[in-house]
Structure 1
Amino acid sequence: MSRWLRWLLVVLVVLASAGAGVGAWALTRDTGSDLPEISAYSHGKAVRVGPYVYCNVVNLNDCQNPQNQGQLSVTERYPVQLSVPTSIGRAPWRLLRVYEDERNSTTTIYRPNTELAVTIPTVDPQRGRLTGVVVQLLTLVQDQNGELSDAPHAEWSVRLAWP
């Protein structure tokens, strides 16, 4: 094999390696957010959504406010399947179910490591149509009187769209 052909092969191998490296970097580079996402599914449609607000659990004044809100089309025939990642499920989290008359909204608190998925009917016989779901990560806070209560330090929201 001639000397120039060997050099050409070396150059081609180096260029191919560099191209593969740049391609791998482009496919795996940081998308700007490593915040958890929830997902909601109903009747063949799914939505993944990042947080509406996400605060530092130690300093609730240190927040990111991307204000993401998902939207999912629903009907009365098919429930919503809500899924949270383990990063949410390993902590205490709250599920708010919002109905047409917001005074009828309900709240369920899940203990750490107990639930990663919840099935939610889109119509409640007493409350009516479900219009949204909200997932909140909870932390304990102490008020100026020394009283402890839970407060959300992160929140995800999915609005339900009816035909």
Structure 2
Amino acid sequence: MTRWVRWVLVVVVVLASAGAGVAAWALTRGSAETMPEISVYSHGHSVRVGPYVYCNVVNLNECQKSQTQGELAVDARYPIQLSVPASIGRAPWRLLQVYEDESNSTSTTFRPNTRLAVTIPTTDPHRGKLTGIVVQLLTLVQDPKGELHDAPHAEWSVRAVWS
């Protein structure tokens, strides 16, 4: 090869590399990974809530703690409609319903790809008024004895505000 041909090839490779870098930057800018949000609705009021805490699924000690809690106006006549995005629904997730007497709170676990929405009554004849809901995204962890347990690695919280 002549010196001129090698020089042209070097210039083409450098320009192609720079073009690929600029294209990758252009495609990914503005698409910062956002945290999933849940949505709750009751009688004309709607709220979208980001995670209260969101941990790395591989390292549960590496967490982002916004401690954001949503608030939804409720009354006894209208239930809460909860919607979770597919990013939550395609994994095992748990719904905690917290009542005035916290010892009467309930927990429901949903298997992957089974539920994206739940209707939640705001009162229960045995538990009283609902004071809040918590959505937890679950992962399996192994305890020191080698036993597997589910543990939340992300959590969304909504407080029921009674009118």
Instruction: Quote the residue 1:144 is aligned against.
Output: 144
Instruction: Quote the residue 1:23 is aligned against.
Output: none
Alignment partners' CA distance in 2, 1:50 and 1:122: 22
Alignment partners' CA distance in 2, 1:122 and 1:103: 17
- Structure 2's unaligned 5+ residue stretches are 1-28
1:33, distance to aligned residue in structure 2 (A): 5.9
Output one character per residue of 1:90-126: Cα deviation in whole Å (capped at 9) or x when no partner: 0000000000000000000000000000000000011
Alignment partners' CA distance in 2, 1:47 and 1:141: 32
Q: Which amino acid aligns with 2:42?
A: S
Match of 2:77, SS state, is: coil
Alignment partners' CA distance in 2, 1:29 and 1:67: 25
C-alpha RMSD of matched pairs (Å)? 1.5
Instruction: Quote the residue 2:83 is aligned against.
Output: 83
Output one character per residue of 1:126-163: Cα deviation in whole Å (capped at 9) or x when no partner: 10000000000000101111111100000000000002
Alignment partners' CA distance in 2, 1:140 and 1:161: 33
Query: What pairs up with 1:12-161 in 2 under 5 angstroms?
Result: 29=30, 34-161=34-161
- Structure 1's unaligned 5+ residue stretches are 1-27
Instruction: Quote the residue 1:16 is aligned against.
Output: none
1:29, distance to aligned residue in structure 2 (A): 3.8
Alignment partners' CA distance in 1, 2:33 and 2:111: 26
Alignment partners' CA distance in 1, 2:33 and 2:120: 28
Question: What's the % identity of the aligned pairs?
Answer: 73
Output one character per residue of 1:43-81: Cα deviation in whole Å (capped at 9) or x when no partner: 000000000000010110111001111000000000000
Instruction: Quote the residue 1:14 is aligned against.
Output: none
Q: Which amino acid aligns with 1:49?
A: V
Q: Which amino acid aligns with 1:123?
A: T
TM-score scaled by length of structure 2: 0.80
Q: Which runs of 4+ in 1 moved over 3 A?
A: none
Q: Which amino acid aligns with 2:91?
A: A
Aligned residues: 136
